Amino acid sequence: MIKAIRDEPGVDEIVALDIRPERVRQLRDELGVMATDSPAAVLDDPEVKLVFVTASNAAHAPLTLAALEAGKAVMCEKPIATTLADAERVVRAAEAKGAFLQIGFELRYSKLYTQVKNWIDQGLLGDVVNTQCNYICEEFHKKGSWRNRLETGGGMFGEKLSHYVDQPRWWVGSPVKDVFAVCAPNVVPYYEVHDNYHAVYRFANGAVSELTFVMYMAQTYQGDPLKDFVATQSRDGHELRYRIIGTRGAVETDVFNRRILRWEFGDAPERMISTLVEEATWTREEDSRHFHNEDGQNRDIVRRVLAGEPPATPARDALETMRLVFAAEQSADSGELVSV
Ligand SMILES: NC(=O)c1ccc[n+]([C@@H]2O[C@H](COP(=O)([O-])OP(=O)(O)OC[C@H]3O[C@@H](n4cnc5c(N)ncnc54)[C@H](O)[C@@H]3O)[C@@H](O)[C@H]2O)c1
């Protein structure tokens, strides 16, 4: 993040904050930035205009609230907080102050997904009625990680899957009415949060989104056609596919095979037909811009704050995604359909 924004016009200096002394030393030595373990050194400095909250999840709400209180513009990583009540508190605080607050849903900047949004906005898919996301990954956080515990990570949906809830909301463009989620027993025994879900969201306009997520040791499967890409997969996953189906066409995205396909539906004398009209790919070097374009997002946030522009997506919109995240956890735990 620091490397991405340090040379942006208008950025004179970056101060890094961490509570761990070894991390402060590392930030100072390896990146050559000012680094401190004192929040006051950041919050009380009037030259600091923008704060990026990139600490572990339980620290998001307290750090964001403190930065807003100190009059800073804030970018806060997803999830906004580890509870819905805290996420609401954060967004209300920003709104009460009229402050800049953008949440780190960088997939809304990623070319793979902005392409889908552009096609939808051009009407090429008609009305989006059904989206499906299949996400299979290995266990990616080791034993003892803060991510694996509910109180420090906030649950798998918020920590990992919030991106894949945020995107269908963005594409369908209608409020979600209700959520149903089920989980099987965990595969990864030291995860104190769920490691698998089938979740279904129903939107007010009738559209339906489905998200299937499961962690298992896919990386070691020798028949895996992607086994040569272990380095790419080792943190991100194994399979991440979307199908976005509209009344006039459909799109399929496949992150790890670097593929995006678009079909148009047509009418023929005997039945409906579909025609593949676009097929795109990209190189490994372009992965970050297509998949997780954090650099693009963070540069845009710097530019917006300097220009006095609002966030690309209001924090209240991100709060809706958080509402769905916690509703999915509630449904998975209770076995009940949850109205939103
Ligand atoms: N948007 C994305 O795609 C994306 C990708 C990766 C990580 N993230 C988010 O970024 C955050 C950090 O992830 P990570 O992998 O770097 O975690 P990490 O555990 O490697 O680093 C977190 C750091 O926060 C520090 N920290 C904890 N509490 C603090 C506090 N009160 N004040 C200052 N520093 C504190 C820790 O000492 C640690 O160095 C998480 O919220 C994660 O969800 C988002």
Domain segments of the chain as ranges: 2-106+297-310, 107-292+322-339
98 token code pair: 């009229």
Atom 10 (ligand 1) nearest CA: 54
- For the segment(s) 107-292+322-339, the CATH number from 3.40.50.720, 3.40.1280.10, 3.30.360.10, 1.10.3720.10 is 3.30.360.10
- Which protein residues are within 6 Å of ligand 1, measured from CB? 17-20, 23, 54-57, 59, 63, 77-78, 104, 106, 159, 292
pTM exceeds 0.85, yes or no: yes
Per-residue pLDDT tens listing for the chain (340 residues): 999 999 999 999 999 999 999 999 999 999 999 999 999 999 999 999 999 999 999 999 999 999 999 999 999 999 999 999 999 999 999 999 999 999 999 999 999 999 999 999 999 999 999 999 999 887 777 888 999 999 999 999 999 999 999 999 999 999 999 999 999 999 888 999 999 999 999 999 999 999 999 987 655 445 555 455 544 554 455 788 999 999 999 999 988 888 999 999 999 899 999 999 999 998 888 888 888 899 999 999 999 999 999 999 999 999 999 999 999 999 999 999 999 9
CATH T-level fold of 2-106+297-310: Rossmann fold (3.40.50)
Centre of ligand 1 to C-alpha 159, Å, is 11
190 token code pair: 């030291």
Strand pairing category for 176-182 and 50-53? unpaired
Centre of ligand 1 to C-alpha 203, Å, is 32
Centre of ligand 1 to C-alpha 55, Å, is 3
Strand pairing category for 208-215 and 196-203? antiparallel
Q: Which of 28, 43, 56 to mutate to test the pocket of ligand 1 (most atoms within 8 A of CB)?
A: 56
